Structure 1
Amino acid sequence: MLVAYTDAIEAEREELEKLLVKESGKPLELAKTELDMSLRWLRAFTTMEVKDEVLDDNEDRTITQTFPPLGVCCGIVPWNWPVLLGLGKVGPALITGNVIIVKPSPFTPYCDLKLGEIGTKTFPPGVLQVISGDDSLGPMLTEHPDIDKITFTGSIETGKRVMQSCAKTLKSVTLELGGNDPAIICDDVDIDAIVPKIATLVFLNSGQICMLIKRIYVHENIYDKFRDAFVTYAKTIKVGDGFEPDVLIGPLQNSMQYEKLKDLYKSVNTCNWKLALEGRIVSESKGYFVTPSIIDNPPEDSKIVVEEPFGPIVLLLKWSSEDEVLDRANDSKCGLGASVWSKDLDRAERMARCLSAGSVWINSHFDVAPNVPFGGHKWSGIGSEWGMTGLKAYCNSRSLWKWKK
């Protein structure tokens, strides 16, 4: 049935892509990418199976670990990737034998409601349900005694409330929360080659992705050259309506995020942080448009460094020694993702293994796959989604002892 569901979504992908642009503000090319990934991931989930594991087998007994489904699961989905992150919960839940209720963000309900509508033509009643509502709906689901698992993707503060609510019925919970991802740039990189890639990994989806690069630590030997090249490239990035060609930065998705970013920009001016590129609130536009902003080496304890901006704003920070930059990169309550950029792969891996994050990349960032576990350290989450680790999170663990004599 999951294969048939995937085929049904693919048949209506064009409508979903346009709906994504209208609802979330993301550029059409990114909406197409989201649908491509979602369909690939669903097909990948259909090939994955949580198998029994024989722990001990001798002439007297066999001990097998089995993984029965939890039962009724609920996926609470954010507004920045409503299709991919919605189906990224649906696929694992169903393939492990559960049923699932999807609660979309009140900012982007229509894409997930469309996925639910498609599901009614594929699954028996009750297997996949989508329930939309305001912020009062979430607690009703997290406290409900007949729901066995909550999988939540969203902010740290909301994640804390979800966990507190789930504790009332001791239900299973997976939390994928915010990040403040560092990227460490070593002094041997090819600046011209990596700047376009890093800029995309900063400003994609208007910076509204938890695992994009937020802090760029650049070695002092190349800091000025990297900064100048980064600013030059950022000035070429097109900001506009998602249906316009070649747009990388669309509008911020909602007024709440827009107001947060406006307050952050006020802090930049109040604190007199140096700007390598001054972003602009495009107040005369019909949407929440903001142009890229690059902060030049602000104090490490400043608000802009400590908090996740979740917008088209990034920090450049200077470093000199490996131990120092690793300490600074890890000095955060978040630990979602991190990356090291260097031609010396041994050096890069040595540094990467010292970073406290659930996903660490070398010469890349923001790579994800359905067969690879994804989760955060510290305040960035509890548990993992995807991969066998993620699939097992939708199961109970049962030890089966079989005595032969």
Structure 2
Amino acid sequence: MALDKTGYPPLDFNTFYNVIDGELSSTPNNVRYGINPITLENNPAVPISSLHDVNRAVEAAGRAAKSWAEVPWDKRVSAIREYANAIEDKAEDFVRILMKETGKPVNLARTEISTCVQYLREFCQLSLPSEVIEDTEERKVVTRYVPVGVVVGIAPWNFPVQVSCMKMTPAILTGNAYIWKPSPYTPYCSLKFAELGQRFFPPGVLQALSGDNDLGPLLTEHPNIQMVSFTGSTLVGKKVMESCSKTLKRVVLELGGNDPAIVCADVDPASVAKRIASIAFCHSGQICIATKRIYVHEAVYDAVLAAMVEFVKTLKLGSGEDAYTGPISTIDHFKYVKGLLASVESAKLTVATGSTKPPSDMSGYYIVPTIIDNPPDDARVVIEEQFAPVLPLMRWKDEADVISRANNTNMGLGASVWSRDLDQAERLGKQLQAGNIWINTHLEIQTSTPFAGHKQSGLGIAMAVDGLKACCNVQSIYTRPADSTT
């Protein structure tokens, strides 16, 4: 058999296994099948992990964590960088399977894989040295950061590998063992990422378990797991936190968002409309920090609405090179979105463009990009996170009023202000209750900058040095001379 650049047989993207203790592991009598949201055909079989599989993985992770923690930082960095190179070499293979499980158009799938490579490399530019708090003749005080041990990452279905790389990389870099638990809807790319990782990490350092809805609790309640990082809905996040509390696990939660965008009176309507709509309708709105509620000053409301409608009409549905908007990724969420659109219809809200019905000429889980014109603030399409290509635009006049309306949610992941007057934009932005504030942009995150949510949008921090610290226990060491009288 021909070997690839790493000296291993090529990855087989037609068969999928758990990765446990450096080996591929199947569950031949217990499998499930994902659904391609573009074609509605079954994807290949994937394992349904049992408690036995979980115990094996956790035991292997526990062994690996002890030895991996002793590996020098620069050696860990080298392994991660080699892993990033291997992913990049197989990018188009990963793109194809990512499209089949998420429904992403090809260019968006390529962006997700390239972003994974970027995150892996950029995390390697960070460091977490010991901090000298005090160093005198009488006393030396040093704070160091030691790995927690076994970390579980529970990934969402909308960005199954990109979000996982935000969790996995800081965990492994800081000396932990990592167990990758993908969404039941989108396990395929994740399992292959983990399989590829066996070429660069010792057995047990990087593992992956596929399963159904029963798998998550088996991990969150396991006594020998020290940390869980979860991305998903606020409802499920609360259950994860409750489950982890039984063993006082470290928990990092990145939960739902209902990001407002405030558009001020001095903007160029055509430019702002296109930029906001590009963000709001990317991946059919299935992005936690996409713009989901747009408040437009009454002086430019009609112009912004008209420009946005014209731009949205040009967005092509599908999966090819020219497609911008793909299908809803899962059947369950597709049903939810259809119910949300039914509420738009029953409330007799004004549809500026789009439709309250799925397109009849497409077989996948497609929803036409839809804009709702000035719905009331208590409409479902405003108060709920749509996570769909359904966008409400609303008028505002008074600054205090629009800030109150924008903050009137239990979510606080992101928010943006759009204005040529940067003083006004910053004044408004500082009043918004969200962990990520953007001025004249949105949806930008980077490994060098902490990422967190306010209110019920999350707990803990991802990215940056704070994200590294989240995977560690803090240890403070106080040292005095042996002959000290104190």
TM-score, reference length from structure 1: 0.98
**Structure 2 residue aligned with 1:147, among 216, 219, 225?**
225
1:133-172 equivalent positions in 2, closer than 5 A: 133-172=211-250
Match of residue 211 from structure 1: 289
2:317 counterpart residue number: 239
CA distance in 2, matches of 1:302, 1:376: 24
Partners of 2:94 and 2:352 lie apart in 1 by 38
1:59 aligned residue = 137
Q: Does 1:269 align with 2:345?
A: yes
Q: What's the counterpart of residue 53 of structure 2?
A: none
Aligned to 1:227: 305
Distance 2:130 2:343 in 1: 55
Q: Distance in 2 between matches of 1:283 and 1:106?
A: 28
d(CA) in 2 for partners of 1:304 and 1:206?
A: 15
| Mapping of residues 40-189 of structure 1, within 5 Å | 40-189=118-267
How far off its partner does 1:284 sit? 4.2
Q: Which residue of 1 aligns with 2:104?
A: 26
| Equivalent AA in structure 1 for residue 351 of structure 2 | L
In structure 2, what is the equivalent of residue 14 of structure 1?
A: 92
Look up the match of 2:369: 292
| Aligned with residue 333 of structure 1, among 379, 397, 410 | 410
Q: Which moved more, 1:297-306 or 1:103-112?
A: 297-306
Deviating 4+ runs (over 4 angstroms): none
List gaps (5 residues or longer) in structure 2: 1-78
Rounded Cα–Cα distance in structure 2 between residues aligned with 1:158 and 1:238: 33
How much has 1:285 moved relative to structure 2?
2.3
Match of 1:360 among 437, 444, 464: 437
Q: 2:378 aligns with which of 301, 304, 312?
A: 301
d(CA) in 2 for partners of 1:42, 1:86: 11
Give the counterpart letter for 1:121 in structure 2: R
Q: 2 CA distance for matches of 1:278 and 1:86? A: 33
CA distance in structure 2 between the partners assigned to 1:194 and 1:224 by the alignment: 13
Q: Secondary structure at the match of 2:377?
A: coil
Q: Which moved more, 1:101-110 or 1:85-94?
A: 85-94
**CA apart distance, 1:57:** 2.4
State the Cα RMSD in Å: 0.9
5+ residue gaps in structure 1?
A: none
The alignment covers a number of residue pairs equal to: 403
- Of 447, 468, 481, the residue aligned with 1:391 is 468
Give the 3-state SS of the residue equivalent to 2:218 in structure 1. Answer: helix
Q: Which residue of 2 aligns with 1:316?
A: 393
1:374 aligns with 2:451: yes
For residues 476 and 459 of structure 2, the distance between their equivalents in structure 1, rounded to whole angstroms, comes to: 24
Question: What residue number does 2:428 align with?
Answer: 351
Give the Cα–Cα distance (whole angstroms) in 1 for the partners of residues 371 and 262 of structure 2.
16
What's the CA shift string for 1:113-134, capped at 9, x where partnerless? 0001101111110000010000
Are the counterparts in 2 of residues 49 and 95 from structure 1 also a CA contact under 8 Å? no
Tell whether the 8 Å contact from 2:295 to 2:396 is kept in structure 1 after alignment.
yes
Residues 88 and 114 of structure 2 are in contact (CA less than 8 Å); yes or no, is this contact kept in structure 1? no
Q: Secondary structure at the match of 1:326?
A: helix
CA distance in 2, matches of 1:327, 1:173: 31
Kindly provide the CA deviation profile for residues 87-112 of structure 1, in whole angstroms up to 9, marking residues without a partner as x.
11111001111010000001000000
Contact 2:450/2:467, CA 8 A, preserved across alignment: yes
Residue 37 (structure 2) aligns with:
none
What's the CA shift for 1:56?
2.1
3-state SS of paired residue (1:339): strand
Q: Distance in 1 between matches of 2:97 and 2:403?
A: 42
**Deviation, structure 1 residue 199:** 0.8
Is 1:249 matched up with 2:325?
yes
Of stretches 254-263 and 40-49 in structure 1, the one that deviates more from structure 2 is 40-49
1:198 corresponds to which residue?
276
Q: Give the aligned residue type for 2:102.
A: S
- Structure 2 contact 270–303 (Cα < 8 Å) conserved: no
Structure ID, larger Rg: 2
Q: Is 2:274–2:307's contact at 8 Å kept on the other side of the alignment?
A: no
Distance in 2 (CA, whole Å) between partners of 1:353 and 1:54 is 33
Identity of aligned pairs, percent? 47
